[in-house]
């Protein structure tokens, strides 16, 4: 029996049809979730490129929770699905800090811009990365003109910020004891006897007994076998999720623009800083560094190279041939390739 007028009948049909379509869509989504367990969904999402994975975070809360867990991050690190990226920080435009990070996706050779308004007020900081996190260490900010690179009136920072390219989020890490700008950084994987950095008593005992080796003791350094570092790491850290990294920070300029010779090591796991042996006397102002085979090589403006043995905790003077003629306005840079340190310079 049709008890509705023509207009009311159409309105009633559309309303019930809309409910039916909504119910069918809900059932379809539920059936999809039932057929696709979380572990299978993780295996699919972990293969996405960084740009696609960043868009996945916006799909739904469930996908965002799946792709931001430590387990998921570990799966990406262990897999072969990541494409390399190059991030460019500290861009200055017309004398002002540019509040964006430039990211180069190497595979398609495509640049991306990421908003980073916090960097609009900071300059002369240093950058290092561990796994999926980028560390912004130290730096300066102008006290007179917002965002301007101004060394006449500035404040030096001791804070450390951590940036996640995936979530485009920021958080603070433990601050350094002393403020410094343009510090020299190094990243190293540690294990075995490096756990001494976690024990203040053992560290203080070692600080009293360690000594600095000069050119006459270079034979001790040359006898260090890089494979020993690898062996200790392999024995103590069989699982990849137990790998431990540290950031070494030395040199830079202090709050009064004075050169610093102090050094610190940051433990990525415990979020703590530990002081290490100061730079050797007469070494000069540090300007470049690289970590290779457990040694933190550092180059000074005086054309000297020293190495800090991260496992043993002391400095070693590296004896080299005279530095080739170069353009003095551009200091050499240390790089590492195939477990060998190299020096690049402009001649």
Class of domain 183-344: mainly beta
CA separation, residue 268 to residues 103, 165, 271, 320, 332 (Å): 24, 17, 5, 33, 29
Domain coordinates of the chain in residue numbers?
A: 35-81, 85-154, 183-344
228/284: higher pLDDT: 284
What is the per-residue pLDDT for 10?
56
Query: What value does the mean pLDDT take over residues 197-218?
Result: 45
- On the CB side of 76, CA atoms within 13 Å amount to 23
Structure tokens at 239: 């699982």
For residue 262, pLDDT over 80 is answered with yes
Query: What value does the mean pLDDT take over residues 173-201?
Result: 75
Question: Closest Cα to residue 135, out of 169, 159, 162?
Answer: 162
Q: Residue 105, Cα to own-chain centre: how many angstroms?
A: 17
Q: Residue length, the chain? A: 347
DSSP class of 277: P
Q: How confident is residue 226, by pLDDT bands cut at 50, 70 and 90? A: very low
Q: Whole-number mean pLDDT of the chain?
A: 75
What is the per-residue pLDDT for 22?
62
What is the per-residue pLDDT for 235?
40
Q: Tell me the pLDDT tens digit for each residue of 113-166.
A: 888 877 878 888 899 888 888 899 988 888 776 767 777 778 888 999 998 887
- Percentages helix, strand, coil for the chain, rounded to the nearest 5? 30, 30, 40
Instruction: Supply φ then ψ for residue 188, to 5 degrees.
Output: -145, 145
What is the per-residue pLDDT for 174?
92
Maximum average pLDDT range among 31-45, 199-213, 299-313 = 299-313
Which residues, including other chains, have CB under 8 Å from residue 257's CB and lie 6 or more apart?
Answer: 151
For residue 172, pLDDT over 80 is answered with yes
First-residue to last-residue Cα distance in the chain: 97
Q: What angle do CA 187, 192, 193 make, to 5 degrees?
A: 90
% of the chain at pLDDT higher than 90 = 11
% of the chain at pLDDT higher than 70 = 73
Burial profile 264-281: b = 16 or more Cβ within 10 angstroms, e = fewer: bbbbbeeeebbebbebbe
Instruction: Supply φ then ψ for residue 53, to 5 degrees.
Output: -65, -35
Q: How confident is residue 101, by pLDDT bands cut at 50, 70 and 90? A: confident
What is the per-residue pLDDT for 185?
92
75/333: higher pLDDT: 333
What is the per-residue pLDDT for 303?
85
Contact 275, 262 (CB under 8 A): yes
235/305: higher pLDDT: 305
Q: Residue 78, Cα to own-chain centre: how many angstroms?
A: 17
**Is the whole-model pTM more than 0.85?**
no
Task: Determine which of 33-42, 60-69, 246-255 has the lowest per-residue pLDDT on average.
Answer: 33-42
For residue 51, pLDDT over 80 is answered with no
């Amino acid at each position: 029996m049709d008890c509705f007028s023509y207009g009311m009948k159409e309105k009633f049909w559309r309303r019930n049809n809309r409910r039916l379509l909504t119910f069918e869509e809900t059932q379809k989504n539920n059936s999809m979730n039932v057929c696709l367990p979380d572990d299978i969904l993780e295996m699919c999402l972990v293969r996405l490129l960084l740009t696609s994975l960043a868009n996945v975070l916006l799909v739904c809360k469930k996908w965002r929770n799946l792709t931001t867990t430590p387990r998921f991050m570990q799966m990406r690190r262990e897999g072969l699905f990541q494409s390399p990226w190059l991030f460019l920080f500290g861009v200055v435009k017309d004398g002002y800090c540019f509040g964006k990070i430039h990211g180069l996706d190497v595979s398609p050779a495509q640049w991306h811009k990421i908003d980073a308004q916090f960097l609009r007020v900071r300059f002369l900081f240093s950058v290092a990365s561990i796994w999926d996190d980028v560390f912004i260490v130290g730096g300066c900010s102008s006290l007179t003109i917002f965002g301007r690179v101004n060394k006449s009136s500035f404040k030096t920072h001791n804070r450390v910020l951590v940036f996640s390219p995936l979530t485009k989020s920021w958080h603070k890490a433990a601050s350094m004891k002393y403020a410094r700008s343009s510090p020299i950084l190094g990243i190293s994987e540690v294990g075995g006897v490096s756990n001494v950095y976690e024990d203040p008593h053992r560290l203080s005992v070692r600080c009293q007994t360690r000594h600095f080796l000069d050119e006459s003791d270079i034979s001790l350094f040359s006898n260090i076998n890089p494979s020993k570092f690898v062996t200790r790491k392999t024995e103590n850290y069989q699982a990849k999720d137990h790998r431990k990294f540290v950031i070494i920070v030395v040199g830079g300029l202090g709050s009064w623009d004075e050169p610093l010779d102090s050094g610190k090591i940051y433990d990525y796991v415990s979020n703590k800083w530990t002081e290490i042996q100061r730079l050797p006397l007469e070494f000069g102002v540090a300007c470049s560094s690289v970590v290779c085979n457990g040694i933190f090589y550092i180059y000074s403006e005086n054309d000297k190279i020293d190495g800090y043995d991260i496992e043993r905790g002391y400095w070693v003077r590296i004896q080299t041939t005279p530095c080739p003629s170069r353009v003095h306005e551009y200091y050499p840079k240390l790089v590492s390739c195939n477990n060998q340190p190299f020096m690049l310079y402009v001649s």
